[in-house]
Structure 1
């Protein structure tokens, strides 16, 4: 039975049903909060980490002030709903907090007044939830980092219309979800009711809700926006070279070098759009990671499109630490050719397994900066035209490139379309990056 009582912020409650005085939730480097089973990191059942175990929060007196603290702590914008009665499903394990008793101004849930840890009269049918304003999720894609884009609006999840949906819009969604880079912008066919239409993100927004659009008007849409984000990343020298980290739940975890082979490497490089594996490196070659080391062995078969689709085995024979973090060098999806180093030369991009050039139409320093950043080569010092580093061969993949400063990879920049050009190889574009000067 749900118990209603006027909210108070007094120092104690005396002998209220035998509970101790209100105390502050212990401050610890291990304390944490998450939202579970709501379809995105900004909506779901509230869970807190205490003594190494995730537990739920009872919905007694749970209100918008409590939800506001959770949303603020997660960086998810304002609270728009504080659901009770296990709206996002019943949790399991301990119920750590019965009465959060937040004022609403706290920076973290652990700073709110609460009854002693684990002492409560609730069951999991009373688990509290929160829905924050910056709520987006991906559905029907096989895992939380792929699928049709839905945003939470007016207390309901709504599809996004796919008109003019592009890789920059997809990149904002992936970053908002903490899912790494956008590797594919997808459009699913309707018809279906949708709200947000003609989305036009610059690429730097923190939430897709902050992007320009035609407005929040319900309509029947024939093309629905979707995205596939990478659930793996390489941390180190460049986007295509570094320590392997895999998204597991809400956290990035490292991978043991004894449990990662060439077949796994091929899937990772392909998922990131980084060409083929060049080298698999053990013994924390790109530095020791933080947090957990993944407790499963990857058993990829080379054919998977994403690392999360690979079979996994929990029967590990190795006791790994961050000293065993595996690193990977891929051949990259962009390269600079015929210069004096890997940081200067003719620009070439990898598409459909084949290297091709970029036409110098509209080629400028913003475009060059994206290439240098993608390669981990510092700042752009020159954007060259007229085949300065010699004429290439094969396809001309990109023409009339128009990058924005927020793009992380050249493939995400707007262009005339893959293989569409009015150009020839004497107009191949080139770049010199600052690392070339050292």
Structure 2
């Protein structure tokens, strides 16, 4: 690509032979161009030959925003278009950037030739800050910070003093001093905090409210047409406000005023800021303010587990802090689970159950009543608590962290899906192994042990979003919420790779042909079919588990078919390797199902202590027992 630059504004040519048509040209496409050129953030996407005209190579470009080159974006065949030269596209990229903070805060770096240089705190003032924040679409300056507040940079330090008047649209338009300055080091790198380019208004906190976007120095609203949780998530991420809780429409937080800047917003997971999401175009809409979009983000998050389980962290100012286990109770847990859309609390876990971190521990005690909608509405104690360490970081598991199997012949086989914010998401086969299957089958679903993990959408292709993190179970977790997940998103999976799972099966048990329900021939229902159990390896430990499961006390005797007669139909598992203290036969290892080595002459029987046979006057004579 050959680019012609005029003070940070770019009219670009593809392979030196032509330009891009302005049809559907938006900030996602502009972001790719700026990234490819190493030119910082995309500031504006321009059409109608704002920078002049030339031959056209591309039309209807559709970038996701994550591509490294413009040529990698989707578009019709090269050179095919329905444009004329008055529709050439343009881009304005920033000549400044902020590093190591958020999008609108960080160390100030200025593009100098082909390199990014830091700026000395002695050479940067409020007027310079005004220009940088404006150029990045980040509102107005909040604070200028010296002494490498956002870390020490590397490489060159800008050697001239910026002398902005404060009214310039870009840093490159600012005058510079003519004398070189060599007495600055990276210990003096300047940092800047701007007021952001998106805000949430009238929601009671900076993490909830009506969505407003700053464009060309003016705040405006966003129309709720097609506004959904994906768009919500981008806003929450841009503001550093935790998880998206709800995407609201119909001016839920009241009608705004001024321009409606965005309509038909279509964000994907790759965008870091709302401005980079596809939309109808700046100021193009068929809306009115009673349709202003709203967002609720969480000010609490769960870390180190899965979405609905982990270490509790609360947003305090601009930082996430942990909570002491002695200052967190069931009422606090109710609010956290509710705020995250994760159902109700299952377990509060102390002693850093989800790992220790560094940084601040929340110094006040939460005193939630349990009915608050968000954690920041809870009262706090007035006295500070300083005697807690990260060894006491509290963890929480909520009920919303669930799995199910879909599309199989019964409830214990099918496509693996995870519940995420009231939506069931399939799991990629590359991110699911035998240890994950052990936990899903044995503990999450009560479906025995895993028989087979199946890839390539064996139980059909799902639709919509996929679960984007890798499960990292050890296989011995008592609940799925105790499994770790990968911290990195995995976007390279499709529904052709939806993972499926076959578990050994959910069983019911009964005792047949005895004097009552606590004595008789052992029969198990597996895959909706009743069958008997072979007595070759059926022992008192397995019988004790069965009696307890049936609420029949403990086992008194294990008997053969000569006591309770021969059954009919299938003969199910022939080895239950129980310890005797399990609560259900499914918790015992099973050799396999549907064994044919036995006949019904070997059907096992049991007498439990709750049976009338066990308490018969004078007792009963038991032959064949253990």
Q: TM-score, normalised on structure 2?
A: 0.44
Q: 1:185 to 1:137 in 2, by over 3 A?
A: farther
Q: Report the counterpart of residue 193 of structure 1 in structure 2.
A: 55
Q: Report the counterpart of residue 350 of structure 1 in structure 2.
A: 214
Q: 1:235 to 1:434 in 2, by over 3 A?
A: farther
Q: State the aligned residue count.
A: 298
C-alpha deviation, 1:431, in angstroms: 1.8
Task: Tell me whether 1:404 sits opposite 2:268 in the alignment.
Answer: yes
C-alpha contact (below 8 Å) 1:138/1:146 kept by paired residues: no
What are structure 1's unaligned runs of at least 5 residues? Answer: 1-135
The one of 161, 164, 182 aligned to 2:24? 164
Q: Report the counterpart of residue 12 of structure 1 in structure 2.
A: none
Residue by residue over 1:37-56, the C-alpha shift from the partner in whole angstroms, topping out at 9 and shown as x without a partner, is xxxxxxxxxxxxxxxxxxxx
- The within-5 A match list for 1:22-421 is 136-139=1-4, 141-143=5-7, 145-152=8-15, 156-187=16-47, 188=49, 192-217=54-79, 221-316=85-180, 319-421=183-285
C-alpha contact (below 8 Å) 1:276/1:331 kept by paired residues: yes
C-alpha distance in 1, partners of 2:268/2:179?
46
Higher mean alpha-carbon deviation, 284-293 vs 324-333, is at 284-293
Residue by residue over 1:290-319, the C-alpha shift from the partner in whole angstroms, topping out at 9 and shown as x without a partner, is 222211111112232211222222525561
C-alpha contact (below 8 Å) 2:65/2:271 kept by paired residues: yes
C-alpha contact (below 8 Å) 1:346/1:388 kept by paired residues: yes
Structure 1 residue matching 2:88: 3-state secondary structure = strand
* Root mean square deviation of aligned Cα: 2.5
C-alpha contact (below 8 Å) 2:160/2:177 kept by paired residues: yes
C-alpha deviation, 1:334, in angstroms: 0.7
C-alpha deviation, 1:346, in angstroms: 2.2
C-alpha distance in 2, partners of 1:351/1:358?
12
C-alpha distance in 2, partners of 1:298/1:313?
7
Q: 1:358 to 1:276 in 2, by over 3 A?
A: same
Q: 1:332 to 1:191 in 2, by over 3 A?
A: closer
Residue by residue over 1:394-433, the C-alpha shift from the partner in whole angstroms, topping out at 9 and shown as x without a partner, is 4443333222323332223333444454545444322233
C-alpha contact (below 8 Å) 2:54/2:85 kept by paired residues: yes
Residue by residue over 1:66-104, the C-alpha shift from the partner in whole angstroms, topping out at 9 and shown as x without a partner, is xxxxxxxxxxxxxxxxxxxxxxxxxxxxxxxxxxxxxxx
Higher mean alpha-carbon deviation, 178-187 vs 396-405, is at 396-405
Q: 1:433 to 1:137 in 2, by over 3 A?
A: farther
C-alpha distance in 1, partners of 2:86/2:287?
35
C-alpha deviation, 1:244, in angstroms: 0.7
C-alpha contact (below 8 Å) 1:344/1:436 kept by paired residues: no
Structure 1 residue matching 2:30: 3-state secondary structure = helix
Higher mean alpha-carbon deviation, 247-256 vs 159-168, is at 159-168
Q: Report the counterpart of residue 461 of structure 2 in structure 1.
A: none
Higher mean alpha-carbon deviation, 190-199 vs 290-299, is at 190-199
Q: 1:381 to 1:290 in 2, by over 3 A?
A: farther
Q: 1:199 to 1:393 in 2, by over 3 A?
A: closer
Q: 1:394 to 1:166 in 2, by over 3 A?
A: closer
C-alpha deviation, 1:269, in angstroms: 0.9
C-alpha distance in 1, partners of 2:127/2:230?
36
C-alpha contact (below 8 Å) 2:18/2:54 kept by paired residues: no
C-alpha deviation, 1:233, in angstroms: 0.8
Structure 2 residue matching 1:362: 3-state secondary structure = coil
Q: 1:191 to 1:242 in 2, by over 3 A?
A: closer
Q: 1:298 to 1:214 in 2, by over 3 A?
A: same
Structure 2 residue matching 1:192: 3-state secondary structure = coil
C-alpha distance in 2, partners of 1:191/1:244?
34
C-alpha contact (below 8 Å) 2:65/2:276 kept by paired residues: no
Q: 1:424 to 1:228 in 2, by over 3 A?
A: closer
Q: Quick check: which has more Rg, 1 or 2?
A: 2
C-alpha contact (below 8 Å) 2:159/2:182 kept by paired residues: no
Q: TM-score, normalised on structure 1?
A: 0.62
C-alpha distance in 2, partners of 1:289/1:405?
29
C-alpha distance in 1, partners of 2:53/2:203?
51
Structure 2 residue matching 1:348: 3-state secondary structure = strand
Q: 1:209 to 1:296 in 2, by over 3 A?
A: same
C-alpha distance in 2, partners of 1:221/1:416?
22
C-alpha contact (below 8 Å) 1:138/1:226 kept by paired residues: no
Higher relative contact order (CA 8 A, sep 6+): 1
